[in-house]
Amino acid sequence: MEVLMPEPQIYVERTLAIIKPDVIGKEEEIEDLILRSGFHIIQKRKLQLSPEQCSNFYTEQFGKVFFPNLTAYMSSGPIVAMVLARICAVSYWKELLGPSNSLRARITHPHSLRALYGTDELRNGLHGSLSISSAEKEIRFIFPEAILEPVPTGQRARDYLNLYVKPTLLAGLTALCKEKPADPMIWLADWLIEHNPNKPKLQYRISQ
């Protein structure tokens, strides 16, 4: 008797990105850099936070010397908030942002977004979640209607790899050996995209 197993779902990690008030004029340019860095923008929203909302958003910074200036800065004009998705989204977005102090970023990470668009430690141009848990919390704050699914770990992740990734990769490598293309890496990448058994279904939605 054949046992039918439900197809396991694989969830793409998400993080929150915010284009801050003083660089909102660079929105299209920054979005282009985000997309070219391998991220999907699955939700986007332009809004202006009140000082009270900023205080609630940055509650972990409460009591620090710069807290009043931070809430005043973040509530000074419109912001663009985006939910970004890709594998290891949190760590990749933090790497793309660079150090929180834009002056330091220009020295140590000159090609980072904060080096390019930030002014100083406070006005650093963009926000990124520090961890997966903070990303979930911040996404729910900005996008209260968002449905966040857990990232698979342990046996669920192993089941997905054994059922889908390994057989697909083996079939791709077998086809590669038969085809013997001039550029094997590009050929294999195209083959895997075409034969992906569980293509992610990401929605791009903009809410004002």
In a shared domain, residues 67 and 91 = yes
User: Domain total for the chain?
Assistant: 2
* 3-state DSSP of 69-81: HHHHHHCCCCEEE
Residues 125 and 186 in one domain: no
pLDDT greater than 90 at residue 203: no
Task: Give the pTM.
Answer: 0.67
Does 60 have pLDDT greater than 90?
Answer: no
User: Catalytic positions, please?
Assistant: 127
CA 23 to chain centre: 19
Supply the CATH number for residue 79's domain: 3.30.70.141
Q: Which domain holds residue 164?
A: 158-195
- The answer on 127 and 36 residing in a single domain is yes
Q: Flag whether 205 is in a domain.
A: no
Residue 147 pLDDT = 59
Instruction: Look at residue 152 and tell me if it is in a domain.
Output: no
The torsion angles phi and psi of 81, rounded to 5 degrees, stand at -105, 140
Q: Compute the average pLDDT of residues 177-198.
A: 85
Q: For residues 42 and 126, state if they share a domain.
A: yes
**pLDDT at position 193:** 82
19 and 105 in a single domain? The answer is yes
Residues 30 and 120 in one domain: yes
